């Protein structure tokens, strides 16, 4: 997996892949190619049985400062329509394995949206989240209005999107946008540690649990409960269910194989 704007380590830690955004001079601004590379890497890692959890990180200064404004500036609506950039995001969203964003520094616009597309967010104390698109005459386009409203509630999302203000890691934690804050030198290590904790669990159960939680944002309660139940029953077809329950009975640690 050789890319121009990202670096991928499929085994950064046992069963954990790491994708690092790598356009440091542009604060990891998300141009079309970079987003396509993330999509392709995630697709490959999702198919790779050795990988159970995927971490996406930037660098200390920036997770990503948003879509590439210089790439977009001269475009008209038909250029945007034809480029259909958000179909890339739709594919990223379909990743079945748990995704953790490790955020330090700026997570703005598309950067904040990319972090929110992940399932969990570990932030450094220097992390800053925002949807500042309004300051450049547009609005969030990669799910910002929808995901932020769901994550932090209407009035906070309104204030962030309508003023473009950045929030601190502390505020993001208080708002329920992120899982935790750690010192800057530890943010990647902590994201990988959390990934390792999840990677110890039964991979199929993790995937179906992820799918079920995501369904909670798209369905009513009755339909969501039906969906959850079917996934629960389905896991009884897995060897890992037998192993997990047998290990409990035998008072030993389960060895999950993703089967």
- Residue 110: active-site member: yes
- The DSSP result for 146-188, as a single string, is HHHHHHH-HHHHHHHHHH--EEEHHHHHHHTS-SEEE-GGGHH
**Is residue 256 within 8 Å of residue 247, measured between CB atoms?**
no
Per CB under 6 A, 58 contacts ligand CAA: no
Among 108, 157, 167, 199, binds ligand CAA (CB under 6 A): 108
How far is the C-alpha of 186 from the C-alpha of 164, rounded, in Å? 28
How far is the C-alpha of 215 from the C-alpha of 89, rounded, in Å? 18
Question: Which of the residues 29, 41, 67, 202 is marked catalytic?
Answer: 67
- Residue 67: active-site member: yes
Residue 21 in 3-state DSSP?
strand
Among 2, 70, 218, 252, binds ligand CAA (CB under 6 A): 70
- Residue 164: active-site member: no
For ligand CAA, which is the closer residue by CB, 36 or 141? 141
Site for ligand CAA in 9-48 (CB under 6 A): 26-27, 29
To the nearest whole angstrom, how small is the minimum distance from the Cβ of residue 203 to ligand CAA?
31
Directed axis angle between helix 221-235 and helix 203-215, to 10°? 170
Query: Looking at the annotation, which residues are catalytic?
Result: 67, 110, 113, 133
* Interface residue list for ligand CAA (CB under 6 A): 26-27, 29, 65-70, 106, 108-110, 113, 132-133, 136, 140-142, 144
């Amino acid at each position: 997996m050789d890319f121009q704007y990202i670096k991928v380590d499929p085994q950064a830690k046992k069963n954990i892949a790491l994708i690092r955004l790598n356009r440091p001079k542009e604060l990891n601004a998300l141009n079309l190619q970079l987003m396509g590379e993330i999509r392709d890497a995630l697709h490959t890692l999702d198919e790779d049985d050795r990988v159970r959890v995927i971490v996406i990180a930037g660098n200390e200064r920036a997770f990503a400062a948003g879509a590439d404004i210089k790439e977009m500036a001269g475009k008209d609506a038909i250029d945007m329509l034809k480029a259909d950039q958000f179909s890339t995001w739709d594919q990223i969203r379909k990743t079945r394995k748990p995704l953790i964003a490790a955020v330090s520094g700026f997570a703005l616009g598309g950067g904040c949206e990319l972090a929110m597309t992940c399932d969990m967010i570990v932030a450094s104390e220097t992390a800053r989240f925002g949807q500042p698109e309004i300051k450049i005459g547009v609005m969030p386009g990669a799910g910002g209005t929808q995901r932020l409203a769901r994550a932090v509630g209407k009035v906070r999302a309104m204030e962030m999107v309508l003023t473009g203000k950045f929030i601190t890691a502390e505020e993001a934690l208080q708002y329920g946008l992120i899982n935790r804050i750690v010192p800057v030198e530890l943010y990647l290590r902590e994201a990988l540690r959390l990934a390792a904790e999840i990677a110890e669990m039964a991979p199929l159960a993790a995937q179906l649990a992820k799918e079920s939680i995501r369904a909670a944002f798209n369905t009513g309660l009755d339909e969501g409960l039906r969906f959850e139940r079917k996934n629960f029953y389905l896991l009884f077809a897995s060897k890992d269910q037998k192993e997990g329950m047998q290990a409990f009975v035998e008072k030993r640690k389960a060895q999950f194989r993703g089967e």
